[in-house]
Amino acid sequence: MTRRILKVFLLFIGLFLLLLAINSFRNSRLSIFPSFGFGPGVQDFTKNLTGGYELLRNSAHEVFIAPADGWNSEVAIIPSKVLKVNTYKEFIIAERQGLKRRNPKDSLDGYEIPDEKVKDYWILNTDKNYVLKNLKITDLQKKLESLKIPTDIELIDVYKY
């Protein structure tokens, strides 16, 4: 009896490993088992902007603007979570929603969620590597005028851009 149970158990283990191996060689989004690998999700994207910058979506809350060839602390970026964006000449204009820690009392939980109370605007100059950040709508209008950017520029949802 125990040999029979062992054989059935080994059969199921073998089938599981076979399906896992088949899944790892397939390049299809539809599979018997979910992929255990890492990489971009189905809805992640990269969209080209002006001045060598890109709009990047790595997760639902990680949508940001950065240079296509990488960046460091010396390079101007617009951090997550970018909601709307548009470009004008060397400028990238973005509406951003702030993020807050999901559980501020737990120092080990670094996951961030959208903060509905924080919405601001950013203007990034790709030629001169500077960013005007945390602007309110009235400040945005003044900065657009001073930078000779049309004040009626429409910011487009990142999923439609």
pLDDT tens-digit map of 113-141: 999 999 999 999 999 999 999 999 999 99
Tell me, yes or no, whether 141 and 72 share the same domain.
yes
Mean pLDDT of 52-81: 93
The mean predicted confidence, pLDDT, of the chain is: 87
Tell me, yes or no, whether 10 and 71 share the same domain.
no
Q: What is the DSSP letter of 158?
A: T
Tell me, yes or no, whether 13 and 63 share the same domain.
no
Which residues, in sequence order, are bridge partners of residue 78? 65
pLDDT greater than 50 at residue 30: no
Tell me, yes or no, whether 13 and 78 share the same domain.
no
In contact, 149 and 93? CB cutoff 8 Å: yes
Torsion of CA 43, 71, 112, 104, to 10 degrees: 170
Tell me, yes or no, whether 81 and 125 share the same domain.
yes
Tell me, yes or no, whether 3 and 70 share the same domain.
no
Tell me, yes or no, whether 89 and 49 share the same domain.
yes
Tell me, yes or no, whether 90 and 144 share the same domain.
yes
C-alpha to C-alpha distance for 58 and 71, rounded to whole angstroms: 16
Overall domain count for the chain:
2
Q: For the full predicted model, state whether its pTM sits above 0.75.
A: no
Tell me, yes or no, whether 31 and 55 share the same domain.
no
Tell me, yes or no, whether 58 and 137 share the same domain.
yes
| 74 φ/ψ angles, rounded to the nearest 5 degrees | -90, -10
Tell me, yes or no, whether 108 and 50 share the same domain.
yes
Spatial CB neighbours of 29, under 8 Å, sequence gap ≥ 6: 42
Tell me, yes or no, whether 97 and 72 share the same domain.
yes
Mean pLDDT of 34-55: 76
What is the domain range of residue 56? 45-157
C-alpha to C-alpha distance for 99 and 141, rounded to whole angstroms: 24
